Amino acid sequence: MKRARRKLGLASAAAWALACASGADLALARGGGDSIVLLGTSGGPIARPDRAGIATLLAIGGKSYLIDAGEGVVHQLGKAGMQAADVPTVFLTHLHDDHYAGLPALASFAYTTRAPKLAVFGPPGTNALGDGVKSVMMPSARIRMIENHLPHSPADFLGTQEFSAGVVFDDGTVRVSALANTHFHLPPLAGGQQEQSFSLKFEGHGHTIVFTGDTGPSADVTAFAKGADVLVAEMASLEDRAAVPPMVRSHMDAEHLSPLEVGKLAAGAGVRELVLTHVGTVTKTDLAVIRSVYAGHIVLGSDLARIAI
């Protein structure tokens, strides 16, 4: 069963994720309309007093989709009036720990509270990550299966599917496309696997929303986001860049977006609204730099902010 789920085709994967939707999931979207909920807006593997790890909930067409699952995502869902079991489908933009550190808790809590399934879609390496999450879940699950009469094991509950560039998901409500971006510049691993980071485009219910994920400047990402209603973009602010050691600044410049590059991306793509997330300390200077090249609406993301789309 585990291997069969890993090899699901696009149509069957979408049908499987569709079957996971819960009543609470539908109620969230219907109650608030189509929206983006910034569950966590922090960038990087560090603790911040005012930001949880990067995680964004897209509520569209009566369904909910989670993009990245940073540290603290279960706690943030609780603050938003939801539970782990209300999130049946997760997309990971890449496999840095700040983008998946909350996944074990999300999966384990959803399993324990009897969610039907959890579908996780991500880049190469996601299947191995899923195996690790299942291992983390097992000590509790062995007890819960007896104590709470849970009908299936973590292996039956959690399914993963790896994607590459192109259309990666279509459940009839949203169509999700992926584009490799410039967050990684790494040689292939032994065996030929290439670490990849992706930008994601969600199209459906009359909306187009693009998530940059972590990326450096990229003409391809600009073209990918062309005409989107909302661009949810990462940003390395001027203060964030200044705070890292000098040896890290070249990484910040090549593999993240400065305020100027964010503005150029939003302007070049002609997006209606720019939402900034995966940030640390953002000042008026950062926003002024963006505004110097981009005339659309800017939202500086904060944890639990809800943005109507």
Rounded to an integer, the average pLDDT of 196-206 is: 96
- Which of 108-130 are b and which e, b meaning 16 or more Cβ less than 10 Å from the residue's Cβ? bbbbbeebebbbbbbbebbbebb
Q: For residue 72, what is the DSSP state?
A: T
Q: Would the pLDDT of 306 be above 90?
A: yes
Whether residue 153 contacts residue 119, with contact meaning beta carbons closer than 8 Å, is answered with: no
Q: 237-257, pLDDT tens digit by residue?
A: 999 989 888 888 888 888 999
**CB-count burial class (<10 Å; 0-12, 13-18, 19+) for 302:** middle
Whether residue 272 contacts residue 299, with contact meaning beta carbons closer than 8 Å, is answered with: no
Here the tokens at position 141 are: 């699950």
Whether residue 198 contacts residue 179, with contact meaning beta carbons closer than 8 Å, is answered with: yes
Residue 3, pLDDT score:
35
**CB-count burial class (<10 Å; 0-12, 13-18, 19+) for 307:** middle
Residue 186, pLDDT score:
80
Residue 208 CB partners (closer than 8 Å, separation 6+): 201, 202, 227, 228, 229, 230
Q: How far apart are CA 103 and CA 71, in angstroms?
A: 8
Residue linked to tokens 């009839």: 172
What value does the mean pLDDT of the chain take?
89
Q: How far apart are CA 254 and CA 11, in angstroms?
A: 36
Residue 26, pLDDT score:
34
Q: Where are the domains of the chain?
A: 2-308
Residue 113 CB partners (closer than 8 Å, separation 6+): 83, 84, 85
Residue 187, pLDDT score:
76
Q: How far apart are CA 211 and CA 201, in angstroms?
A: 6
Rounded to an integer, the average pLDDT of 202-230 is: 97
Q: Would the pLDDT of 264 be above 90?
A: yes
Q: How far is CA 281 from the centre of its chain?
A: 21
Q: How far apart are CA 119 and CA 130, in angstroms?
A: 10
Residue 24, pLDDT score:
36
Q: How far apart are CA 95 and CA 93, in angstroms?
A: 7
Confidence of residue 39 (pLDDT cuts 50, 70, 90): very high
* Across 145-149, 264-268, 287-291, least confident range: 145-149
**CB-count burial class (<10 Å; 0-12, 13-18, 19+) for 284:** exposed
Q: How far apart are CA 49 and CA 197, in angstroms?
A: 27
Q: How far apart are CA 277 and CA 231, in angstroms?
A: 10
In the CATH hierarchy, which fold is given to the domain comprising 2-308?
Metallo-beta-lactamase; Chain A (3.60.15)
Q: 11-34, pLDDT tens digit by residue?
A: 444 443 433 333 333 334 334 589
Identify residue 280 by its one-letter amino acid code.
Answer: G
